[in-house]
Structure 1
Amino acid sequence: MRKIYAIGIGAGDPEHLTVQAVDRLNRVDVFFVLDKGEEKADLVRLREEILDRYVTRPYRVVLVADPPRDRKPADYRAAVADWHAARAEVYESVILSSLAESQTGAFLVWGDPSLYDSTIALIETVLARGRVTFEYEVIPGISSISALVARHRTTMNQIGRAVQLTTGRLLATGWPPDVDDVFVLLDAHTTFDRYTSHDLTIYWGAYVGTPDEILISGPLTPALATKIRETRTAAREHHGWIMDTYLLRRPTP
């Protein structure tokens, strides 16, 4: 039977890979790599660098064109559902066409497959469709939030206090109740701008773990919010893409 690995490869540094991840890389015959176009070619190159560095057996790389996505939908959930359905069809097709019955394939997942990533759900969708069968295993990786707090030399939480992971879209609806530390992912609209009067500290990072890493932290004043927003805009224009994450922290009672 075919086997698939979803391997977490960390937040950008090839040295983020775990010993377990390296072991599984060296069991793989075919690596499926999503091609998101020229603007995000760096993401493909990093995966190629990881394979060159760690894999010692013969393998093939199959580039998979990522289906287009509506970035400004009227109905966000419906647009994401449509995009995931299109991705599942692509995954199913490439597994059937490029992976023999006795072979092992892998998807190299940025960060950790369990955190704001669709790979596990897509694999389950492919299995549920019933056209192809395989076993699969998930290999955890260093997440963007783990890398962020490590690079800022801080912790995820304050003693005895809760942590919440959320999106900019949800943070825009209000500060989560009974939480002092909030990690924000997938925020293209710099929602932290709304909280400059809340006595917060921000730990922001982009391209964490890569040579292009940018780190900014401090009390979330209007001036610092402006600096982060302008830095983010300039970096995105320069690279054509950006992956950034931030932690908002308020003092404990």
Structure 2
Amino acid sequence: MIALSLVGIGSGNPDHLTLQAIKTLEAADLILLPRKGDEKSDLADLRRGIVAEVLQTAPKVVEFDYPVRDAKTPKYLDGVNTWHDALAKIWSGLIHDHSGSDAHVALMVWGDPSLYDSTLRIADRLKAQGLQIDVQVVPGITSLQMLTAAHAIPLNDLGAPVIITTGRQLRDHGWPLGADTVAVMLDGECSFQHLSDAQQIDIWWGGYVGMPQQVLRAGLLAEISDDIIQTRAEARAENGWIMDIYLMRKRAD
């Protein structure tokens, strides 16, 4: 039986690691470390830094290149499933080649494995392939937590619900019904610019939240939408990549 630990590491800032995360990584026999291309080399470097500077033990580290998802697949979910299958095959091969049958394998997950992340689904594919694994999740600080902390705001109004969604959903379906507060992740097209009632919506946006290059904007959507779009484009051009998230709340009538 392989023990597979999916360890949330927040933004990669060592201050965001829990004691449980550190102990789990230190106890691992093997750490799989993804590389996501030259543009996102910062993310791999942060993971390498955790291994070199935070851990008191020296687990074996094996790096691997992430396969690229085919964005041209007509059906979005078909492309994602094919991508996940490819990742599961890579994981399975690395575990087979670099660990014993009773090894403890760990992966460092950006943010937390529960929130818009694929590692748990890929682990399920390993089980479907017949690999005997016991999956453990070590929670990490999410980008949503870091966003609200950076802006010093509560996630929700008193007694009010929050919808967490994606840019694709916001763009295709508009503002979710029944919600005054919406958190949006995975939005590469600034889908907030398509909302018709921007004069009644406050937005709190953050790029690279929790990282040294963190950049924040907040205000009435109608007034700062263009500033966010420009700021995002400039930050992406400077760094070669960007991870951003935002929270929007409708003003009371």
Fold equivalence (TM over 0.5): yes
TM-fit CA distance, 1:26: 1.4
Which residue of 1 is the match for residue 235 of structure 2?
235
The one-character-per-residue Cα deviations of 1:27-72 (angstroms, maximum 9, x if unpaired) are: 1121101111111110001111122232111211111111111234
Distance in 1 of aligned mates of 2:30 and 2:90: 15
> What is the letter of the counterpart of residue 178 of structure 2?
D
Count of aligned pairs: 251
Which residue of 1 is the match for residue 92 of structure 2?
92
The one-character-per-residue Cα deviations of 1:134-169 (angstroms, maximum 9, x if unpaired) are: 222001100000000000000110001000100011
Spell out the pairing of 1:181-192 with structure 2 (5 A cutoff). Answer: 181-192=181-192
Give % identity: 39
**2:9 is the counterpart of 1:9:** yes
Deviates further, 153-162 or 132-141: 132-141
**2:210 is the counterpart of 1:209:** yes
Which residue of 2 is the match for residue 156 of structure 1?
155
Which residue of 2 is the match for residue 167 of structure 1?
166
TM-fit CA distance, 1:127: 1.1
* SS at 1:26 equivalent: helix
TM-fit CA distance, 1:102: 3.0
Spell out the pairing of 1:234-253 with structure 2 (5 A cutoff). Answer: 234-252=234-252
In structure 1, stretches of 5+ residues that fail to align are: none
Distance in 2 of aligned mates of 1:216 and 1:71: 29
Distance in 2 of aligned mates of 1:81 and 1:125: 10
TM-fit CA distance, 1:2: 2.2
Give the root-mean-square deviation of aligned CA atoms. 1.3
TM-score relative to the length of structure 2: 0.95
TM-score relative to the length of structure 1: 0.95
TM-fit CA distance, 1:195: 2.4
In structure 2, stretches of 5+ residues that fail to align are: none
Contact 1:196 1:220 survives alignment (8 Å): no
Distance in 2 of aligned mates of 1:143 and 1:74: 31
